[in-house]
Chain A
């Protein structure tokens, strides 16, 4: 295995394109090193992007935030303005792993691992985040929900690399939240994750995005669930409909972390609880 730490994304893309065998991009490394250790992935090339200028930066852009590909959880959560705009995204990222993992783990890495249970992804999907992708044909912006195509599979082409994530402008009267269910209080992979981002017009929900994790081969954006609460002030009937549509959207598996029945039911429970938090946040 070769290790390279290029000083630009152009160089990174060149390295990735030149590799005949398997290549892996190293951002925080909290997934890649586990895969290396277990022998589930045996790359010929590791491209460490952390020495590329700007990858640790969070910059204001069009009222939103551009987050460098190597920004760690610690760095993200230290950014007070971003956290104030998108508390759900910040919390979702903060839930990944331990204090130690937070010192390394990145939004970009979480997205590229493409685990259906990735904590930050539903929050980013609900937020309407996009990923900036660079390849040999230049750069493009992709909706976060379009990156993962199946468990541990992404839509990126050979040689493509995500250089940053963009969180759009929060705007007025908005709030987001992410909740996950785990058996312990920390250190687990989400059995179910639910994120809600919404804006209010007075007491009523004006717009909403609801996203679910760990209940399908990819993180889901559930339009029906959003529609269930748009135009309401989260009355009981709306909440029940939200839970029902969220549960109905689930297509989970039974595994060591949870059963189909459990995941389906909990998706509804968490969607409701996350909606309530997002609503309260939007209220200010």
Chain B
């Protein structure tokens, strides 16, 4: 077993894990942070998206051991206290989720997108989120929610 010290959503966290365990396994099974979902385990669906030092990655493609000394961000860290992040609120306003299993990953990826590109085109949003599979919505309302959130965040900035 490997001992790892890391920071998750701003909190210093320690865990031990088997070297074969992924960061996703660790988050879900050892730290009870079940917001990141396993849809495929092979980096094809994006439901397990988290940020590592600010870069969005699939936590199923990161070993738990690699988290040593890193800053990890998960869906659980997007809201501030009881205040939803604008993208979370827009997802509710636009009915941009049906079953909700892809939502955590999409929110994590969207947050990273808007931090990097505050004024994305629809095409940019669609390509940025191409690794986040949604099977319910046909993406329409998701894209609208992201564009609307971007607009609001720009005018608030």
Contacts and interface: CB of A to CB of B under 8 A. Distances in A.
B61 A29 contact: yes
Interface residues on A, range: 20 to 34
Contacts of B131: 97-101, 186-187
Interface stretch (A33-41, A149-157, A171-179, A226-234): A33-41
A276 interface: no
By DSSP majority rule, is chain A's interface helix, strand, loop, or mixed?
mixed
B55 A33 contact: no
Interface in A49-80: 50, 72, 74
Given A100-B49, A103-B55, A29 B63 contact: yes
A185 interface: yes
Interface residues of B, number: 31
B128 A99 contact: yes
B2 interface: yes
Given A100-B56, A103-B52, A34 B129 contact: no
B87 interface: no
A100 B46 contact: yes
Contacts of B109: 99-100
Contacts of A103: 52, 55-57
A1 interface: yes
Contacts of B98: none
By DSSP majority rule, is chain B's interface helix, strand, loop, or mixed?
mixed
B46 to A, nearest CB: 6
B65 interface: yes
B43 A30 contact: yes
B61 A2 contact: no
Contacts of B61: 29-30, 33-34, 100-101, 104
B41 interface: yes
B18 to A, nearest CB: 8
Given A3-B2, A101-B58, A103-B56, A186 B127 contact: yes
Contacts of A23: none
B117 to A, nearest CB: 11
B19 A187 contact: no
B2 A104 contact: no
A46 interface: yes
A187 B132 CA distance: 10
A100 B43 contact: yes
A36 B127 contact: no
A26 interface: yes
Contacts of A46: 19, 63
Nearest to B58: A100
A275 to B, nearest CB: 25
11 contacts: A2-B19, A33-B61, A33-B62, A34-B61, A37-B41, A74-B55, A98-B43, A99-B109, A99-B128, A99-B131, A104-B57
